Every structure is written in C-alpha cells, then in structure tokens.
Amino acid sequence: MAITTSTHDVISSERVEGTSVYNAAGDKLGSIDELMINKRSGKVEYAVLEFGGFLGMGTDRYPLPWSMLDYDTDKDGYVVPLTKEQIDGAPRYTETTTPDYTPEYSQRIGSYYGVGI
Amino acid sequence: MAITTSTHDVISSERVEGTSVYNAAGDKLGSIDELMINKRSGKVEYAVLEFGGFLGMGTDRYPLPWSMLDYDTDKDGYVVPLTKEQIDGAPRYTETTTPDYTPEYSQRIGSYYGVGI
C-alpha cells in the first residue's frame, strides 16, 4: 500500500451535486446539477453544469466530461479550463429537453471539448 | 456503431438516489442514499444502501459495490444477490459515523461481498 494513498479517495454524489463551477479566470459559471453515469461501467461520464435562467427558472444544462473538472480546495468548487465564450457555444439543453445520451450525442460533446470519454 | 447500442446508456445520479433495492427473494431492503465516486477515475465504487431505523431516523448505511446492483425494470428498483442474513453481517455505518473510505475499508467491503472494486 502506498503511503501517499489518500484517505479520501471517494466523494459522495450528494456532495458533488450543487458544488460551484468556475472557469480558468476564476469567474463562477454555475453549479453541478447532476451526474450522468454509465450504467454498465459505473463511470461518471458527465457532470451537468447548470446556469443561466432567472430566479432558478429556465436554466441551461451543459454536460461536461468528468475528466475536465478539477477540484480547487480554496474555492471549494470545480475549475474547468474553459472561457465563457467556449461555454457559450457548448452543447446544452434545458431542464425540459434532456436529450438521450446517445453515442452520437456523446461524440458531439467529446468533440466540442476535445476530450475522449 | 452497433445497432444494439442502447440510447439510454447513462443514468442520472439523481435518478439513482432514492431508488429501491430488493434482495434476490424480492423483499425490499431499503433504498439508495448516495453514490461514492472515485475522484480520480470518476468511477462509482459504491451505492450506499440505507435502511433500518425508525421514522427515517437512525438508519444504517451499507456501501454496496456498484457492480452488484442489477436494475429490474418490473420492480423499478435494483436487485442485489444477497440474503437478509448477508446484509445483516455486512459492513455498515450510521449517518453520523461515515467512515473514511480508505483502501483498507474498501478491501473489507470487497472481501465481504467477494467482489473486486
């Protein structure tokens, strides 16, 4: 057993949900609404960023590949290496229009962010 | 792209949380409280089963390896291949005594269920 093994290797889904997300410049983008988990592998493929809207209504959802999220203890939130412009053009949907996460949709997300899932 | 690829390969963490869990005999054991996710790999390692207690107070939590859960559409819940006796002796904790998920603790769970994580 490596001595450096963290004693906090795991985190609760309930802890992740609601956590703030910042861009590289330190601006808050929004917060994590839910995690999308591959049923078979059990791997969290996307953390769905929620932001926009007004008084909590009509917010947009942006599925971000889990591997893009970097936890920042100082901010107590995730940092993603994206500009606001990159987020503006990113695949999104509204609360009432959740898409099927088909292989094609996954490909579109991965291609946009340049990240393999 | 395989024609048989499901269009619903992913599931939301919010959908999993609260879902009922049954044993092989069809008895309801409890429900999923939260998911424990490996921070680095993004893999869901455990679905934490909640049951026992009285009027929702003092429930026990049983971390179940994700791979043990089998979704049953008829029951709209997960089925785990365990008897009540097996659950009775399983690693557990209370809401107020969540352990560190150390490698040793993971080993204990894996060893109890005979499942590698």
Token readout for B18 is 């609260």
Query: A27-39 burial string, b = 16+ CB within 10 Å, else e?
Result: eebbbbbbbbbbe
A13 closest CB neighbour out of B8, B37, B41: B37
In a domain, A5, yes or no: no
Local structure of A54: helix, strand or coil: strand
Residues A37, B10: C-beta atoms closer than 8 Å: yes
B39 closest CB neighbour out of A1, A11, A39: A11
> Given this model, what pLDDT does residue B87 score?
87
Mean pLDDT, chain A, integer: 87
Name every chain B residue with its beta carbon within 8 A of the beta carbon of A99. Answer: none
Of the candidates B33, B32, B70, B41, the residue with the CA atom closest to the CA atom of residue A44: B41
Over residues A84-110, the pLDDT tens digits come to: 889 889 999 988 888 999 989 999 999
Please check whether residue A19 is in contact with residue A78, taking contact to mean a CB–CB distance below 8 angstroms.
yes
Over residues B70-99, the pLDDT tens digits come to: 999 999 999 999 988 898 899 999 988 889
| pLDDT tops 80 at residue A116 | no
Residues A40, B9: C-beta atoms closer than 8 Å: yes
The alpha carbon torsion through B65, B37, B92, B29 (nearest 10 deg) reads -60
In a domain, B28, yes or no: yes
Name every chain B residue with its beta carbon within 8 A of the beta carbon of A45. Answer: 10, 42
In a domain, A7, yes or no: no
The pLDDT confidence band at residue B59, using thresholds 50, 70 and 90, is confident
In a domain, B5, yes or no: no
The DSSP bridge pattern shows strands B77-80 and B20-23 to be parallel
In a domain, A61, yes or no: yes
Token readout for B108 is 């204990």
Q: What is the mean pLDDT of residues B34-59?
A: 86
Distance from C-alpha of B114 to C-alpha of A28, rounded to nearest angstrom: 44
Q: Which of B1, B3, B32, B37 to mutate to test the interface with A (most CBs of A within 10 A)?
A: B37
Where in the sequence is the domain holding A81, given as residue range(s)?
Answer: 13-113
- Residue A57 to chain B, least CA–CA distance (Å): 19
In a domain, A49, yes or no: yes
Residues B102, A43: C-beta atoms closer than 8 Å: no
> Given this model, what pLDDT does residue A2 score?
36
- Residue B5 to chain A, least CA–CA distance (Å): 8
Token readout for B44 is 């869901």
In a domain, B3, yes or no: no
Query: What is the 8-class DSSP label of residue A93?
Result: E
How many distinct structural domains can be found in chain A?
A: 1
- Residue A106 to chain B, least CA–CA distance (Å): 10
- Does A21 or A40 have the greater pLDDT score? A21
High-pLDDT (> 90) share of chain B, %: 67
Q: What is the mean pLDDT of residues B2-31?
A: 82
Of the candidates B63, B66, B62, B20, the residue with the CA atom closest to the CA atom of residue B42: B66
Token readout for B43 is 């893999």
DSSP code string of B20-53: EEEETTS-EEEEEEEEEEETTT-BEEEEEEEE-S
Local structure of B109: helix, strand or coil: helix
Q: What is the mean pLDDT of residues A41-57?
A: 84
> What is the widest separation between alpha-carbon atoms in chain B?
50
Q: What is the CATH number of the domain that holds A56?
A: 2.30.30.240
Which residues make Cβ contacts (< 8 Å) with residue A93, sequence separation at least 6? A60, A61, A99
In a domain, A8, yes or no: no
- Does B41 or A3 have the greater pLDDT score? B41
Over residues A54-91, the pLDDT tens digits come to: 665 678 999 999 999 999 999 999 999 998 889 889 99
> Given this model, what pLDDT does residue A31 score?
95
Q: Which of B10, B39, B100 to mutate to test the interface with A (most CBs of A within 10 A)?
A: B10
Q: How far is CA B95 from the centre of its chain?
A: 15
A10 closest CB neighbour out of B1, B9, B101: B101
| pLDDT tops 80 at residue B2 | no
